[in-house]
Structure 1
Amino acid sequence: MGAKFYYKDADAPTPNLPTSIGITAIIKYKDQYLFESRVDCDQWSLVGGGMEDDESLEDCAMREILEETGIKVKIEDLNLIKLYSCPSRIAEYPDGNVIRIVSVVFEIDLKTKPDTICSEESLELKWLKKDEIIDLDIVETHKHVVEELILGI
Protein backbone atom coordinates (compact mmCIF):
# COMPACT_ATOMS: atom_id res chain seq x y z
CA MET A 1 0.00 0.00 0.00
CA GLY A 2 1.27 3.46 -0.86
CA ALA A 3 0.51 6.79 0.75
CA LYS A 4 -3.15 7.77 0.98
CA PHE A 5 -4.54 11.27 1.20
CA TYR A 6 -7.87 12.44 2.63
CA TYR A 7 -9.95 15.60 2.56
CA LYS A 8 -13.37 15.88 4.20
CA ASP A 9 -13.54 12.08 4.43
CA ALA A 10 -15.28 10.54 7.46
CA ASP A 11 -13.20 7.38 6.96
CA ALA A 12 -9.87 9.20 7.32
CA PRO A 13 -7.63 7.87 10.09
CA THR A 14 -6.86 9.97 13.17
CA PRO A 15 -3.44 11.68 13.07
CA ASN A 16 -0.81 10.10 15.31
CA LEU A 17 1.91 12.72 14.76
CA PRO A 18 1.99 16.52 15.18
CA THR A 19 0.48 18.65 12.43
CA SER A 20 2.77 19.15 9.44
CA ILE A 21 3.11 22.66 8.04
CA GLY A 22 4.27 22.87 4.47
CA ILE A 23 3.96 24.54 1.13
CA THR A 24 2.19 23.83 -2.12
CA ALA A 25 3.58 25.49 -5.25
CA ILE A 26 1.47 26.42 -8.25
CA ILE A 27 4.22 26.73 -10.84
CA LYS A 28 2.93 28.38 -13.99
CA TYR A 29 4.44 29.13 -17.38
CA LYS A 30 2.05 30.98 -19.71
CA ASP A 31 -1.09 28.77 -19.78
CA GLN A 32 0.60 25.64 -18.39
CA TYR A 33 0.95 24.35 -14.83
CA LEU A 34 3.60 21.98 -13.53
CA PHE A 35 2.37 18.71 -11.98
CA GLU A 36 4.24 15.72 -10.63
CA SER A 37 3.28 12.06 -10.74
CA ARG A 38 4.10 10.86 -7.23
CA VAL A 39 6.08 7.70 -6.51
CA ASP A 40 4.38 7.13 -3.15
CA CYS A 41 0.81 6.85 -4.42
CA ASP A 42 0.82 6.85 -8.23
CA GLN A 43 -1.33 9.98 -8.35
CA TRP A 44 -0.64 13.52 -9.50
CA SER A 45 -0.01 16.56 -7.33
CA LEU A 46 1.37 20.03 -7.33
CA VAL A 47 4.95 20.43 -6.12
CA GLY A 48 5.30 20.82 -2.37
CA GLY A 49 6.41 19.44 0.93
CA GLY A 50 6.92 19.93 4.63
CA MET A 51 8.73 22.80 6.27
CA GLU A 52 11.89 21.97 8.22
CA ASP A 53 12.25 23.30 11.78
CA ASP A 54 15.01 25.73 10.79
CA GLU A 55 13.43 27.32 7.71
CA SER A 56 10.81 29.88 6.78
CA LEU A 57 7.87 29.08 4.51
CA GLU A 58 9.62 30.94 1.69
CA ASP A 59 12.82 28.93 2.23
CA CYS A 60 10.72 25.75 2.27
CA ALA A 61 9.10 26.71 -1.04
CA MET A 62 12.42 27.47 -2.72
CA ARG A 63 13.97 24.22 -1.40
CA GLU A 64 11.03 21.97 -2.32
CA ILE A 65 10.76 23.45 -5.82
CA LEU A 66 14.50 22.97 -6.40
CA GLU A 67 14.54 19.43 -4.95
CA GLU A 68 11.47 18.20 -6.82
CA THR A 69 11.89 19.98 -10.16
CA GLY A 70 15.43 21.36 -10.46
CA ILE A 71 13.93 24.84 -10.89
CA LYS A 72 15.68 27.56 -8.91
CA VAL A 73 13.37 30.38 -7.84
CA LYS A 74 14.08 33.48 -5.79
CA ILE A 75 12.08 34.75 -2.86
CA GLU A 76 10.69 37.59 -4.99
CA ASP A 77 9.27 34.97 -7.42
CA LEU A 78 6.97 33.62 -4.68
CA ASN A 79 3.44 35.01 -4.54
CA LEU A 80 1.60 33.92 -1.37
CA ILE A 81 -2.01 33.24 -2.36
CA LYS A 82 -3.79 31.04 0.19
CA LEU A 83 -3.64 29.05 3.41
CA TYR A 84 -5.38 25.67 3.71
CA SER A 85 -5.76 24.58 7.33
CA CYS A 86 -8.90 22.43 7.40
CA PRO A 87 -8.37 19.68 10.03
CA SER A 88 -9.63 17.07 7.54
CA ARG A 89 -6.50 17.35 5.33
CA ILE A 90 -4.83 14.06 6.28
CA ALA A 91 -1.93 12.01 4.89
CA GLU A 92 -1.50 8.34 5.80
CA TYR A 93 1.84 6.71 5.03
CA PRO A 94 2.77 3.01 4.69
CA ASP A 95 4.92 3.17 7.84
CA GLY A 96 1.78 3.87 9.89
CA ASN A 97 2.35 7.61 10.29
CA VAL A 98 -0.79 9.71 9.94
CA ILE A 99 -0.40 13.47 9.71
CA ARG A 100 -2.70 16.46 9.47
CA ILE A 101 -1.40 18.78 6.73
CA VAL A 102 -1.56 22.58 6.81
CA SER A 103 -0.47 24.06 3.48
CA VAL A 104 0.54 27.54 2.45
CA VAL A 105 0.12 27.96 -1.31
CA PHE A 106 2.55 30.02 -3.34
CA GLU A 107 2.16 30.82 -7.03
CA ILE A 108 5.25 31.14 -9.18
CA ASP A 109 4.68 32.71 -12.60
CA LEU A 110 7.75 31.87 -14.68
CA LYS A 111 8.81 34.15 -17.52
CA THR A 112 10.73 31.41 -19.36
CA LYS A 113 10.03 27.69 -19.47
CA PRO A 114 12.82 25.97 -17.56
CA ASP A 115 14.23 22.51 -17.99
CA THR A 116 12.99 20.26 -15.21
CA ILE A 117 14.69 17.41 -13.37
CA CYS A 118 12.53 14.69 -11.85
CA SER A 119 13.40 13.83 -8.24
CA GLU A 120 13.24 10.37 -6.66
CA GLU A 121 9.85 11.41 -5.21
CA SER A 122 8.33 11.70 -8.69
CA LEU A 123 7.71 9.36 -11.58
CA GLU A 124 7.22 12.24 -14.00
CA LEU A 125 6.93 16.03 -14.22
CA LYS A 126 4.47 17.41 -16.74
CA TRP A 127 3.38 20.86 -17.92
CA LEU A 128 -0.40 20.80 -18.39
CA LYS A 129 -3.07 23.19 -19.65
CA LYS A 130 -6.33 23.60 -17.72
CA ASP A 131 -8.29 21.27 -20.01
CA GLU A 132 -5.68 18.53 -19.42
CA ILE A 133 -5.93 18.91 -15.64
CA ILE A 134 -9.69 18.29 -15.33
CA ASP A 135 -9.50 14.49 -15.65
CA LEU A 136 -6.19 14.06 -13.82
CA ASP A 137 -6.14 11.70 -10.81
CA ILE A 138 -4.98 14.22 -8.19
CA VAL A 139 -4.27 13.44 -4.52
CA GLU A 140 -7.16 14.47 -2.26
CA THR A 141 -5.14 17.06 -0.34
CA HIS A 142 -4.38 18.90 -3.60
CA LYS A 143 -7.59 18.30 -5.57
CA HIS A 144 -9.56 21.09 -3.85
CA VAL A 145 -6.57 23.44 -4.18
CA VAL A 146 -6.36 22.77 -7.93
CA GLU A 147 -10.13 23.09 -8.39
CA GLU A 148 -10.30 26.41 -6.57
CA LEU A 149 -7.08 28.16 -7.54
CA ILE A 150 -6.36 26.82 -11.04
CA LEU A 151 -9.65 25.59 -12.49
CA GLY A 152 -11.93 28.05 -10.69
CA ILE A 153 -14.60 25.45 -9.87
Structure 2
Amino acid sequence: MGRTEYYNDPAAPKANTLIPASNLLVVDETGAILLQHRRDTGQWALPGGAQDIGETAAECAVRECLEETGIIAEVTGFLGIYTNPNHIVAYSDGEIRQQYENTYIGRPIGGTPTVNDEADGVRFVPPADLDRYDIHPSMRQQIRDYLAGTYPYLG
Protein backbone atom coordinates (compact mmCIF):
# COMPACT_ATOMS: atom_id res chain seq x y z
CA MET A 1 0.00 0.00 0.00
CA GLY A 2 1.37 3.41 -0.96
CA ARG A 3 1.53 6.41 1.32
CA THR A 4 2.18 10.12 1.11
CA GLU A 5 3.37 12.11 4.11
CA TYR A 6 2.44 15.74 4.69
CA TYR A 7 4.26 17.80 7.28
CA ASN A 8 3.07 21.31 8.12
CA ASP A 9 1.50 21.41 4.65
CA PRO A 10 -1.69 23.49 4.38
CA ALA A 11 -2.68 21.42 1.32
CA ALA A 12 -2.70 18.18 3.35
CA PRO A 13 -5.97 16.25 3.34
CA LYS A 14 -8.03 16.16 6.53
CA ALA A 15 -7.29 13.18 8.79
CA ASN A 16 -9.96 10.51 9.19
CA THR A 17 -8.13 8.21 11.66
CA LEU A 18 -5.90 8.39 14.69
CA ILE A 19 -4.09 5.11 15.41
CA PRO A 20 -1.54 4.60 18.19
CA ALA A 21 1.88 3.64 16.90
CA SER A 22 5.23 3.04 18.57
CA ASN A 23 8.81 3.65 17.43
CA LEU A 24 12.04 2.35 18.90
CA LEU A 25 15.18 4.48 18.73
CA VAL A 26 17.84 1.77 19.10
CA VAL A 27 21.35 2.89 20.04
CA ASP A 28 24.28 0.48 19.87
CA GLU A 29 27.35 0.46 22.13
CA THR A 30 29.11 3.03 19.87
CA GLY A 31 26.18 5.47 19.99
CA ALA A 32 25.06 4.72 16.42
CA ILE A 33 21.30 4.82 15.77
CA LEU A 34 19.39 2.07 13.97
CA LEU A 35 17.64 3.28 10.80
CA GLN A 36 15.66 1.54 8.10
CA HIS A 37 15.27 2.72 4.51
CA ARG A 38 11.52 2.57 3.88
CA ARG A 39 10.42 1.10 0.57
CA ASP A 40 7.16 3.10 0.59
CA THR A 41 8.63 6.59 1.08
CA GLY A 42 12.28 6.18 0.12
CA GLN A 43 13.34 7.85 3.37
CA TRP A 44 15.30 6.62 6.37
CA ALA A 45 13.31 6.17 9.56
CA LEU A 46 13.25 4.67 13.01
CA PRO A 47 11.54 1.27 13.12
CA GLY A 48 7.94 1.53 14.24
CA GLY A 49 4.32 0.95 13.40
CA ALA A 50 0.75 0.54 14.54
CA GLN A 51 0.00 -1.04 17.89
CA ASP A 52 -1.93 -4.31 17.87
CA ILE A 53 -4.74 -5.14 20.26
CA GLY A 54 -3.37 -7.18 23.15
CA GLU A 55 0.08 -5.59 23.29
CA THR A 56 1.50 -2.65 25.17
CA ALA A 57 2.99 0.33 23.36
CA ALA A 58 6.49 -0.80 24.41
CA GLU A 59 5.84 -4.35 23.15
CA CYS A 60 4.69 -2.84 19.86
CA ALA A 61 7.97 -0.91 19.52
CA VAL A 62 10.05 -4.06 20.13
CA ARG A 63 7.94 -6.14 17.71
CA GLU A 64 8.04 -3.53 14.97
CA CYS A 65 11.81 -3.19 15.37
CA LEU A 66 12.32 -6.92 14.88
CA GLU A 67 9.86 -7.13 11.96
CA GLU A 68 11.29 -4.13 10.11
CA THR A 69 15.02 -4.46 10.82
CA GLY A 70 15.87 -7.98 12.04
CA ILE A 71 17.24 -6.48 15.27
CA ILE A 72 16.07 -7.82 18.62
CA ALA A 73 16.06 -4.92 21.06
CA GLU A 74 14.97 -4.11 24.57
CA VAL A 75 13.45 -0.90 25.81
CA THR A 76 15.74 1.13 28.06
CA GLY A 77 13.85 4.42 28.25
CA PHE A 78 11.09 6.65 26.95
CA LEU A 79 11.76 9.40 24.41
CA GLY A 80 8.31 10.91 24.08
CA ILE A 81 4.81 11.18 22.68
CA TYR A 82 4.68 12.73 19.21
CA THR A 83 1.17 13.80 18.17
CA ASN A 84 1.59 16.62 15.69
CA PRO A 85 -1.82 17.26 14.06
CA ASN A 86 0.08 18.82 11.15
CA HIS A 87 1.80 15.51 10.33
CA ILE A 88 -0.62 13.63 8.10
CA VAL A 89 -0.07 10.31 6.34
CA ALA A 90 -2.41 9.54 3.44
CA TYR A 91 -2.60 5.89 2.38
CA SER A 92 -3.65 4.66 -1.05
CA ASP A 93 -6.63 2.81 0.49
CA GLY A 94 -8.23 6.13 1.58
CA GLU A 95 -7.07 6.16 5.19
CA ILE A 96 -5.69 9.55 6.20
CA ARG A 97 -3.94 9.31 9.54
CA GLN A 98 -2.85 11.97 12.01
CA GLN A 99 0.49 11.20 13.64
CA TYR A 100 0.34 9.55 17.06
CA GLU A 101 3.63 7.91 18.04
CA ASN A 102 5.01 6.75 21.36
CA THR A 103 8.78 6.61 20.92
CA TYR A 104 10.98 4.50 23.15
CA ILE A 105 14.74 4.27 23.51
CA GLY A 106 16.32 0.84 23.27
CA ARG A 107 19.48 -1.16 22.82
CA PRO A 108 20.16 -4.14 20.57
CA ILE A 109 20.40 -7.55 22.26
CA GLY A 110 20.50 -9.79 19.18
CA GLY A 111 19.63 -10.26 15.56
CA THR A 112 21.23 -9.02 12.36
CA PRO A 113 20.23 -6.04 10.20
CA THR A 114 17.97 -7.59 7.55
CA VAL A 115 16.06 -6.14 4.59
CA ASN A 116 12.43 -7.16 4.12
CA ASP A 117 9.23 -6.17 2.34
CA GLU A 118 9.07 -2.86 4.28
CA ALA A 119 12.75 -1.87 4.31
CA ASP A 120 15.35 -2.23 1.56
CA GLY A 121 18.15 -1.02 3.82
CA VAL A 122 18.93 -1.35 7.54
CA ARG A 123 21.96 0.03 9.30
CA PHE A 124 23.35 1.65 12.43
CA VAL A 125 24.28 5.26 11.63
CA PRO A 126 26.73 7.29 13.71
CA PRO A 127 25.20 10.63 14.79
CA ALA A 128 27.91 12.54 12.87
CA ASP A 129 26.65 10.94 9.62
CA LEU A 130 22.90 11.58 10.06
CA ASP A 131 22.89 14.74 7.91
CA ARG A 132 23.83 12.59 4.89
CA TYR A 133 20.53 10.70 5.13
CA ASP A 134 17.09 11.69 3.84
CA ILE A 135 15.12 11.46 7.09
CA HIS A 136 11.55 12.72 7.42
CA PRO A 137 11.31 15.84 9.64
CA SER A 138 9.18 14.01 12.24
CA MET A 139 11.84 11.31 12.64
CA ARG A 140 14.60 13.88 12.60
CA GLN A 141 12.86 15.69 15.50
CA GLN A 142 12.79 12.47 17.52
CA ILE A 143 16.48 11.77 16.83
CA ARG A 144 17.37 15.39 17.63
CA ASP A 145 15.46 15.21 20.94
CA TYR A 146 17.38 12.06 21.87
CA LEU A 147 20.78 13.48 20.93
CA ALA A 148 20.09 16.76 22.79
CA GLY A 149 18.83 14.92 25.86
CA THR A 150 15.60 16.94 25.74
CA TYR A 151 13.18 14.22 26.64
CA PRO A 152 10.63 13.10 27.41
CA TYR A 153 8.89 15.10 24.70
CA LEU A 154 5.20 15.43 25.54
CA GLY A 155 3.56 16.80 22.44
TM-score, scaled to structure 1: 0.84
Q: Say which structure is richer in strand.
A: 2
Contact 1:6 1:141 (8 Å CA) reproduced: no
Aligned partner of 1:33 in structure 2 is 33
Counterpart selection for 1:80 from 74, 78, 81: 78
Aligned partner of 2:122 in structure 1 is 125
Amino acid across the alignment from 2:100: V
Q: Deviations over 1:34-78 (max 9, x none)?
A: 11110111111111101012221022112111111222234xx34
Contact 1:22 1:103 (8 Å CA) reproduced: yes
Amino acid across the alignment from 1:27: V
Amino acid across the alignment from 1:127: F
What CA distance in whole angstroms lies between the structure 2 residues aligned with 1:11 and 1:78?
A: 38
Amino acid across the alignment from 2:123: K
What CA distance in whole angstroms lies between the structure 2 residues aligned with 1:148 and 1:94?
A: 31
Amino acid across the alignment from 1:35: L
SS of 2:13's equivalent in the other structure is: coil
Aligned partner of 2:96 in structure 1 is 98
Tell me how large the CA RMSD over aligned residues is. Answer: 2.3
SS of 2:71's equivalent in the other structure is: coil
User: Which 4+ stretches in 1 moved above 6 angstroms?
Assistant: none
TM-score, scaled to structure 2: 0.83
Q: Which runs of 5+ in 1 are unaligned?
A: none
Amino acid across the alignment from 2:106: I
What CA distance in whole angstroms lies between the structure 2 residues aligned with 1:95 and 1:78?
A: 36
Aligned partner of 1:11 in structure 2 is 11
Q: Deviations over 1:82-106 (max 9, x none)?
A: 1111211211122332101211111
Q: Which runs of 5+ in 2 are unaligned?
A: 151-155
What is the identity percentage for the equivalent residue pairs of Structure 1 and Structure 2? Answer: 25
Q: Deviations over 1:84-140 (max 9, x none)?
A: 112112111223321012111111134x67522222100100111112111321124
